[in-house]
């Protein structure tokens, strides 16, 4: 993917309203990566730098270029409020009118909702994994019991009868 990404960065170099960058999450870029939920590499994010979203498309140059040309442009944000519809303008104005303390509290609340959803998901996946392991053991035990109850001999007898029946 790196050659495709480098080519895309070169294509957007000096672009007036959008940029394509790479960040080393193991060095100086670690705080940026941590604050944006980057957990694996490579991870592609897009959107307003203060509210990046996950990219879910293809990793080849053509897919990246198509996405970039369709999506990487100035978008509705506090810095570009003129690009917002009335509903988003109102939402932004409401957030801008909040005290820094209230805004921080609201952000913390929403971050907690995400964290809680991730924790709930992980706990439920752990339960599923446990159930899966139990089901796997039960299935394996049942198969072993069935095989040990004479299934192999039954099949051998059937084959023997079929072979003897054909000779008659």
> Mean per-residue pLDDT for 126-138?
95
- Contact status, residue 52 vs residue 46, Cβ threshold 8 Å: yes
Higher pLDDT, 102 or 50: 102
The full set of domain ranges for the chain reads: 2-75
The reported pLDDT for the residue numbered 117 is 93
The reported pLDDT for the residue numbered 47 is 75
Q: Can you say how many angstroms the Cα of residue 44 is from the centroid of all Cα atoms in its chain?
A: 10
Q: How confident is the model at residue 11 (pLDDT cuts 50, 70, 90)?
A: confident
First and final C-alpha spacing in the chain = 67
* Distance (Å, whole) CA 23 – CA 43: 10
Check pLDDT > 70 for residue 168: no
Higher pLDDT, 131 or 80: 131
| 37 φψ region: left (φ > 0), alpha (ψ -120 to 50), beta (else) | left
Among candidate residues 69, 59, 66, the one with its CA nearest the CA of residue 4: 59
pTM of the model: 0.51
Check pLDDT > 70 for residue 164: yes
- CATH class assigned to 2-75: alpha beta
Q: How confident is the model at residue 139 (pLDDT cuts 50, 70, 90)?
A: very high
The reported pLDDT for the residue numbered 83 is 85
């Amino acid at each position: 993917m790196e050659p495709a990404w480098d080519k895309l960065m070169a294509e957007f170099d000096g672009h007036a309203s959008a940029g394509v960058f790479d960040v080393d999450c193991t060095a100086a870029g670690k705080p940026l990566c941590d604050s944006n939920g980057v957990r694996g590499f490579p991870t592609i994010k897009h959107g307003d730098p203060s509210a990046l979203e996950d990219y879910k498309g293809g990793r080849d140059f053509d897919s990246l270029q198509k996405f970039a040309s369709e999506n990487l442009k100035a978008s509705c944000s506090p810095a570009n409020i003129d690009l917002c519809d009335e509903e988003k303008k109102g939402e932004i104005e409401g957030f801008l009118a909040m005290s820094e303390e209230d805004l921080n509290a609201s952000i913390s609340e929403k971050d907690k909702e995400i964290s809680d959803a991730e924790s709930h998901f992980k706990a439920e996946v752990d339960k599923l994994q446990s159930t899966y392991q139990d089901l796997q053991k039960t299935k394996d035990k049942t198969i072993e019991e069935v095989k040990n109850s004479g299934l192999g001999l039954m099949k051998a007898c059937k084959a023997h009868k079929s072979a003897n029946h054909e000779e008659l």
